[in-house]
Amino acid sequence: MVAARRELTRLAAAEGIAGVAVPPVVDSRSYDRGVPREVLGVAAELGLSVLVHPMQLPRPERDHHYLVNLIGNPVETTTAVAAVILGGVLEELPDLRICFGHGGGGAPSLLGRWGHGWRSRDDVHRGTARPPAESFTLLHFDTITHDPEVLRLLRIHASPDRIVCGSTTPSTWRSPTRSDSRSAMGSTPRRRRRTAAGSSG
């Protein structure tokens, strides 16, 4: 962790660096404990934004059909969102700016389940005093869902000003165009002006 703090401090002092990309899972742990949580703490302390992007961790059941990406990426992202929300990370680090790729993975469709668990189980509730749906509105997400209906679901649960237009560049995957994302978001002329001005979150 000493080396991680040194590197983050160096980056924070570098001209033009506004944030860092970090994996959602490190040594089988996510952001509610261990080194990953410490990294978020240092980033918040230094004013660095955090972009969460999966590492496509190898698993034997995902070694075919490109499942390491098609399933692995959204599952890793969903795990990270759950860890931040249910682990009370935002309560401990209120200044943390964190953005999740892939539209938060499966998180938008699981918020109801997480909320039920939070209300029903002590082992879920003890990590945070905030309902999961409330914490969800404090997170940032990109628009790369590859499905306009999923993007609309994200818009229902997330704060519109914290959804940012994502891109798969330089990947060979074709990402949705900005107009595709705006259409799915139900964008208004006023919101389009704000996005063009760089204030979309």
pTM of the entire predicted model: 0.84
Is the pLDDT reported for residue 130 higher than 70?
A: yes
Average pLDDT, the chain: 86
pLDDT at 188: 47
- 69-74: list long-range contacts, CB under 8 Å, 24+ apart: 73/101, 73/102, 73/105, 74/102, 74/105, 74/106
Separation of first and last alpha carbons in the chain: 29
Q: What is the per-residue pLDDT across 158-186, written as a single tens digit (0 to 9) for each?
A: 999 999 998 766 566 665 555 454 555 56
Q: What is the per-residue pLDDT across 106-122, written as a single tens digit (0 to 9) for each?
A: 999 999 999 999 999 99
pLDDT at 117: 97
Every domain of the chain and the residues it spans: 2-6+19-196
Q: 85 and 128 in contact (C-beta within 8 Å)?
A: yes
Pick from 180, 155, 22: which is nearest to 100 by CA? 22
Pick from 172, 173, 168, 165: which is nearest to 192 by CA? 165
Distance of alpha carbon 107 from alpha carbon 100, whole angstroms: 10
CATH class entry, domain 2-6+19-196: alpha beta
